[in-house]
Chain A
């Protein structure tokens, strides 16, 4: 009983101490807040990428601001956003008012990022979103520039471009199927988790599939957190699909890939499967996820440019895994630092102006912020050859292997693009067996 009381008293005293506040730090450091679901892979990516950037920059002596050299200091904030959106906003407020950070990177769940964005904007701090793909985050910038101009998208590019890229993958694999298996028309089952970001993608497939000589046999919308999809898989097999276009950002990607592989459903899986982007995918699917293809940002052995391999390999050595896209906090911090050094200023408004016009090479391509049709600043990432394109990876024998872009011609007459380290796509043997005449 005494202990309980003691605990309560300790708690109250602690809270008081917390409210009275932490002394302000010296002004010789640049503080960068890293916010994300730190208990989960996404947040770990945020933090690891940020640590790498911090270590590299500080090892060189820090950031040159005018004539002064300033070190970087990271502040970790657990947003807990998967479980509790209120928590995420509190964490952001804490970064702004207690830690008094100069910049923030991170964020994942769109509902939470929208709420956190408002708080960062209120304090006029630059916030680089490294996880949420929804266009809304950036349309806000265009619609209310004065309020939202401090927000930039760091990664991934917005979901409209995700659709375009995954359609390219769909066509890429479809053509291979036609050629190898002698199919005339490829039948596609569209399986998208029931989420708003996937809706336009599903709608777009209706129009797009016939254009590339494919036919839709149905649309399935399982819950993003479904754990058993055998019913969907049986139905898909019944429908006679040869390809499954997957649109998954959540845990449903694991059972779908695993059960599909284990039941040897004679259809190849192509699309977005965020779980398939992680190194743990092989273990999580008991190796049954072999042959699935998903869009991804990084893959060991594949290089966009000369910055890719050093980043991916150092990251792998340091943390024992391939960076996922949230680890692009690395590029985000590097970009901030480069902009600071160029302008020689820490003033947010000045930095925003400089970032809007800059074109910067990062490990995944070239970052250039775009404008919308009306010429308003959108602070969204430019997609396309020469900028950011992302990759497609296929799981082969326990490892992700880069398979796209492989001799990709982006527009008629444009040069073929094949990144260094790309290999050929492999059709699962049971699919070959099912259709090969």
Chain B
């Protein structure tokens, strides 16, 4: 009883002192609560479908940010990892009879392999060279997919994968909880020692090398990690849609993930995730003007970038929170003095 009371008290204190002091943290808490509780209040299969897909793409977008945002290795062919994950999962599920809980991680491991295969030749490439070269990989793989239709199903793809779960609501919780866990893990990775090295590689690779750090190793780690998470997203997608087809490798898929991430704000992990949860339903919402749908989407992206070139969410955050000039702790914008060091904020 005492123990329970102790933990409750601790939880309350954390909420009060760590979460409720910053609006952005409240938003994150609300986001967790909303996606977890929404289907209990309103179990509409269409809404759940949209949120499931948004969750899958959120993992995908965050994995791009992990590689391209943090280490600066702009990957224009991220669909490769997604597609390899999807196809790998589908082949293991259909041919080898793996159940989803095994086929998805195994498919993601195949995507890691793909990450290494892409990462190795790309190690020496910089900036735009890298971006435009990576664009080529999914297209080459697409050629492969079409040349071995016995294995990949050609333009039909591989269909008839087993379901994640029987009911929509179970599917929902599997995907959403996976998403919350994976995104948190990715965020933790970027917050760790490794994340700092990733940051540093983006800022000045030479300096990192000079500091005696093997940047090659870290870059390959970034490629593999990113491939792993994107592969998981691809595997989830394949099992949810019950089909893995060439559309997972299309350029539009690669572009889509870049749009989400940059729109939401790179080098944050939460930015791309938020962007997917805004843009994916937004595209659905635009169904009320079916002819103008894609156009409206493109215009929204362009206008937001015009005013917030650093991304929508960091811009919003900067409006409601300030950083203390002395101790670098974030404060709500309404505060006059810092909540930790009491320095003047204006």
Contacts from A to B (Cβ < 8 Å) = 1, 4, 7, 11, 14-15, 18-19, 21, 38-39, 76, 78, 80, 83-87, 89-91, 93-94, 96-98, 110-112, 114-115, 118, 134, 136, 140, 194-197, 199, 224
Contact = CB atoms under 8 A, between A and B. Distances in A.
B282 A11 contact: yes
A195 B154 contact: yes
B156 A134 contact: yes
B141 interface: no
A86 B252 CA distance: 12
For B156, B300, B303, which residue has the most chain A Cβ atoms within 10 angstroms? B156
B230 to A, nearest CB: 16
B44 interface: yes
B155 interface: yes
Contacts of A94: 46, 287
Given A90-B53, A90-B284, A83 B157 contact: no
Contacts of B156: 110-111, 114, 134, 136, 196-197
Contacts of B50: 90
Contacts of A7: 300, 303
A11 B285 contact: yes
B285 A115 contact: no
Interface stretch (B8-16, B182-190, B239-247): B239-247
Given A89-B241, A90-B50, 16 more contacts: A7-B303, A19-B47, A84-B252, A85-B247, A89-B49, A93-B45, A96-B46, A110-B156, A111-B155, A111-B156, A111-B243, A111-B246, A111-B247, A114-B157, A115-B242, A196-B156
Interface residues of B, number: 38
B291 interface: yes
Given A140-B160, A195-B154, A19 B307 contact: no
Contacts of B45: 93, 96-97
Contacts of B245: 85, 111
Contacts of B155: 110-111, 195-197, 224
14 contacts: A1-B307, A4-B307, A18-B285, A18-B288, A39-B291, A84-B247, A85-B241, A85-B247, A86-B241, A90-B284, A91-B287, A115-B243, A195-B155, A196-B154
B120 interface: no
**A-B residue pairs, 5 tightest by C-beta:** A196-B154, A111-B245, A85-B247, A97-B46, A78-B290
B149 interface: yes
B281 interface: yes
B153 A196 contact: yes
B340 interface: no
B253 to A, nearest CB: 9
Contacts of B133: none
Contacts of B303: 4, 7
A136 B241 CA distance: 17
B215 interface: no
A97 to B, nearest CB: 4
Given A4-B303, A110-B156, A115-B243, A98 B252 contact: no
Contacts of A224: 155
B213 interface: no
Contacts of A39: 291
Contacts of B218: none
A38 B252 contact: no
B159 interface: yes
B44 A21 contact: yes
Contacts of B149: 196, 199
B298 interface: no
Contact of A38 (B159, B283, B290): B290
Contacts of B53: 86, 90
A19 B242 contact: no
Given A111-B246, A114-B243, A78 B44 contact: no
A136 B159 contact: yes
Nearest to B241: A115
A93 B288 CA distance: 15
Contacts of A76: 290
A194 B154 CA distance: 9
With most chain A CB atoms within 10 A of its CB, the pick from B49, B50, B303 is B49
B304 interface: yes
Interface in B215-246: 241-243, 245-246
B173 interface: no
A140 B290 CA distance: 32
Nearest to A250: B155
B178 to A, nearest CB: 18
B42 interface: yes
Contacts of B42: 19
B293 to A, nearest CB: 8
B281 A15 contact: yes
B328 to A, nearest CB: 28
A134 B288 CA distance: 32
Interface string B41-77: 0101111011001000000000000000000000000
A196 B287 CA distance: 32
B98 interface: no
A346 to B, nearest CB: 22
B232 to A, nearest CB: 17
B46 A98 contact: yes
B169 to A, nearest CB: 13
Nearest to A136: B156
B47 to A, nearest CB: 5
A78 B287 contact: yes
Interface string B149-186: 10001111101100000000000000000000000000
A223 to B, nearest CB: 9
Contacts of A115: 159, 241-243
A76 B287 CA distance: 11
Contacts of B247: 84-86, 111-112
A140 B243 CA distance: 14
